Amino acid sequence: MEGFKTLLYKECLRFWKVGFQTVLSPVLNAVLYLLIFGHVLEDHVQPYPGVNYTAFLVPGLVMMTVLQNAFANSSSSLIQSKITGNIVFVLLPPISYREFYAAYVLAAVLRATLCGIGVLLVSLPLTDLHFAAPGWIIAFTLMGGAFLASLGVIAGIWADKFDQLAAFQNFLIMPLTMLSGVFYSIHSLPAVWQGVSHFNPFFFMIDGFRYGFFGVSDVSPWASFGVVSVCFVVLAAITLQMLARGYKLRA
Amino acid sequence: MIPAIRIAGVTKRFRSLQALAGVDLEVAQGEFFGLLGPNGAGKTTLISSLAGLARPDSGTLEVMGHDVVKDYRAARLALGVVPQELVFDPFFSVREMLRIQSGYFGIRNNDDWIDEILHHLDLTGKAGANMRMLSGGMKRRALVAQALVHRPPVIVLDEPTAGVDVELRQGLWQFIRKLNQDGHTIVLTTHYLEEAETLCGRIAMLKAGRVVALDTTANLLQRFASHTLRVSLEEAITLAGPLAGKLLKTEGSTLEFGFDAFDEVADLLAGVRTCGGKVVDMVLGKPDMEQVFVGIMNQN
């Protein structure tokens, strides 16, 4: 247990030491999105009755920040350790693969949550935000963060170079996030694209998370949480299987 | 007594390369053991298998009686490994890194021992420095410190003196010798054969994934090396008779003979004179590990 706690501490210390890059910079990015999109679309779009566009946008941006940073933390830490070779310091001690997984995922969720809280705090003075069901906000933050953190562990282990990781991020994570309804309600899409959106697990994370603020969503939060939970369990099982086999970590 | 290390029938293949082809080896507790071999012989793969960084295709490895796969926690607690590559975590200072490493092994509040290690490795002044700021030699010593944080009874050093200057190397060996005297088992791989000869009580030589020699250092020297007589002649000569059988190598007009007893020297010189050689310089050499190494590698 001490090994797990230390690895978790080390992973948190690692991102905290470069907080400008790992926490403040994502917050700034999200706030810029909010200012620009909010300003341009505020008077043209009303996604839900009684909810203005800027207020609608904030939960989407918070969740997008959570998801992207959960992925970035575990994946970048692992690939850096692999490329510099210092991953041996984690592989030599008596740390089980389950402890290894839990430490990387929890640290990533923690960073993601910090970033999300940062975006939320900066956004509060800019719009009129409600917290209709805070339990869902917390549940989707943790489950969505854990899902992306697991995906980050997979990507970090699989990638042999930064270029491959960037491809994973730019060709998978980014499109799935952007097309998940961060900036729009899927009811504004043609029927075909509404259907396609239901194959994107990121859509359920954002939609369920947004329900926590407005009490309104495109899909029932229970259904969304079910989809996200199943996706997480499947991904966690795959990740644990990779770690148990020592895939690309233990020759 | 349980051996510090027991390796039985270990094989490992990387695609077409048979890195380990059935290695059997035992290292007793308290030994200073040398693992020698040319590049690609399988030394690092064997160490990696012992440390759990590689998984053998067959065979078993134990550290202090603990199987490295089935009982990996106990095996890893008993083992400290200094890796060959100069790796470090650029986010942390030396002390942070040693505290973190202690925690990985389940140890909290380890500062007294950390201070002692830093003192012995001459790193006290660098405890607060970021790992990036250390010289190559310091990074190497920091790696040694990392392997020792949990006071492992068995310490494996994979080429620990590569790139370390003479003075630091001496200091490092002094410390490792002290650890050995205190009861730690040391396993060393090195390309500096003189170091292995001086430090190791027993040596195994690996070639193409097999142990091709395993004996005490003294026995290896006795069996595979001889004293040498190196004579430089005014002009090259052609040797005849039993003298030719004693010749180890020729470099122009310089000849090197091997012999076992010093009273053979007079006969060798007389033989050279008989063949028309005029000696202008002469050097006597002791049996050394290089001769043993070259001899064994050529035999196999």
3-state helix, strand, coil in chain B (%, to 5): 40, 30, 35
What is the model's pLDDT at position B78?
A: 96
Give the distance from residue B91's alpha carbon to the nearest chain A alpha carbon, in angstroms: 6
**How many CB pairs lie under 8 A apart between chains A and B?**
82
- Give the residue, B192 or B28, on which the prediction is more confident: B28
Percent of chain A with pLDDT over 70: 98
| Cβ pair A3:B85 closer than 8 A | no
Distance (Å, whole) CA B51 – CA B65: 14
Residues of chain A contacting B48 with CB distance shorter than 8 Å? 251
Residue A105 has pLDDT above 90, yes or no: yes
| Cβ pair B48:A251 closer than 8 A | yes
For range A223-234, the mean pLDDT:
95
Total domains present in chain A: 1
Could you tell me if B27 and B53 lie in one domain? yes
Could you tell me if B135 and B151 lie in one domain? yes
pLDDT digits (tens, 9 = 90+) for A146-171: 999 999 999 999 999 999 999 988 99
For range B26-39, the mean pLDDT:
93
- Residue A250 domain flag: no
Give the distance from residue B86's alpha carbon to the nearest chain A alpha carbon, in angstroms: 8
C-beta separation of A10 from B100 below 8 A: yes
What is the model's pLDDT at position B270?
A: 86
Residue B291 has pLDDT above 90, yes or no: no
What is the model's pLDDT at position B300?
A: 66
What is the model's pLDDT at position B145?
A: 93
**Domain end: B203, B222, B241, which one?**
B222
pLDDT digits (tens, 9 = 90+) for B143-197: 999 999 999 999 999 988 777 778 778 888 888 999 999 999 999 998 888 888 8
Distance (Å, whole) CA B268 – CA A108: 75
Q: What is the CATH number of the domain that holds B196?
A: 3.40.50.300
Give residue A57's pLDDT band: very low, low, confident or very high (50, 70, 90).
confident
Residue B107, chain A, CB below 8 Å: the answer is yes
What is the model's pLDDT at position B286?
A: 82
Distance (Å, whole) CA A243 – CA A248: 9
**Taking the complete model, does pTM exceed 0.95, yes or no?**
no
Residues of chain A contacting B77 with CB distance shorter than 8 Å? 94
Residue B110, chain A, CB below 8 Å: the answer is no
- What domain range is B266 assigned to? 226-286
- Residue B296 domain flag: no
Q: What is the CATH number of the domain that holds B255?
A: 3.30.70
Residues of chain B contacting A91 with CB distance shorter than 8 Å? 52-53
Q: Among B55, B74, B104, whose Cβ lies nearest the Cβ of A95?
A: B104
Could you tell me if B43 and B185 lie in one domain? yes
Q: Strand (E) positions, chain B? A: 5-14, 17-27, 32-36, 58-63, 66-67, 79-82, 154-158, 185-189, 202-207, 210-216, 227-233, 247-251, 254-259, 279-285
- Residue B295 domain flag: no
The 3-class secondary structure across chain A, one letter per residue, is CHHHHHHHHHHHHHHHHCHHHHHHHHHHHHHHHHHHHHHHHCCCCCCECCECHHHHHHHHHHHHHHHHHHHHHHHHHHHHHHHHCCCHHHHCCCCCHHHHHHHHHHHHHHHHHHHHHHHHHHHHHHCCCCCCCHHHHHHHHHHHHHHHHHHHHHHHHHCCCHHHHHHHHHHHHHHHHHCCCCCCCHHHCCHHHHHHHCCCHHHHHHHHHHHHHHCCCCCCHHHHHHHHHHHHHHHHHHHHHHHHHCCCCCC
pLDDT digits (tens, 9 = 90+) for A181-203: 777 777 777 778 877 888 899 99
- Residue A32 domain flag: yes
Query: For A105-114, B211-220, B235-244, which range has the lowest pLDDT when averaged over its residues?
Result: B235-244
A-chain residue closest to B88, CA distance: A86
Give residue A130's pLDDT band: very low, low, confident or very high (50, 70, 90).
confident
Mean pLDDT, all residues of chain B = 89
What is the model's pLDDT at position B296?
A: 82
What is the model's pLDDT at position A239?
A: 96
For range A222-245, the mean pLDDT:
95
Residue B92, chain A, CB below 8 Å: the answer is yes
Mutate to test the interface with B, among A1, A8, A10, A15 (most CBs of B within 10 A): A10
What is the model's pLDDT at position A180?
A: 83
Could you tell me if B204 and B243 lie in one domain? no
Could you tell me if B125 and B148 lie in one domain? yes
Could you tell me if B161 and B233 lie in one domain? no
Total domains present in chain B: 2
Residues of chain B contacting A7 with CB distance shorter than 8 Å? 103-104
Could you tell me if B122 and B231 lie in one domain? no
- Residue A251 domain flag: no
The winner for highest mean pLDDT among A41-55, A192-206, B70-84 is B70-84
**Domain end: B178, B198, B222, which one?**
B222
Residue B268, chain A, CB below 8 Å: the answer is no
Q: How far is CA B71 from the centre of its chain?
A: 27
Could you tell me if B146 and B204 lie in one domain? yes
B-chain residue closest to A16, CA distance: B91
Chain A residues within 8 angstroms (CB to CB) of chain B? 1-3, 5-7, 9-10, 13-14, 17-18, 81, 84-86, 88-96, 246, 250-251
Give the distance from residue B101's alpha carbon to the nearest chain A alpha carbon, in angstroms: 7
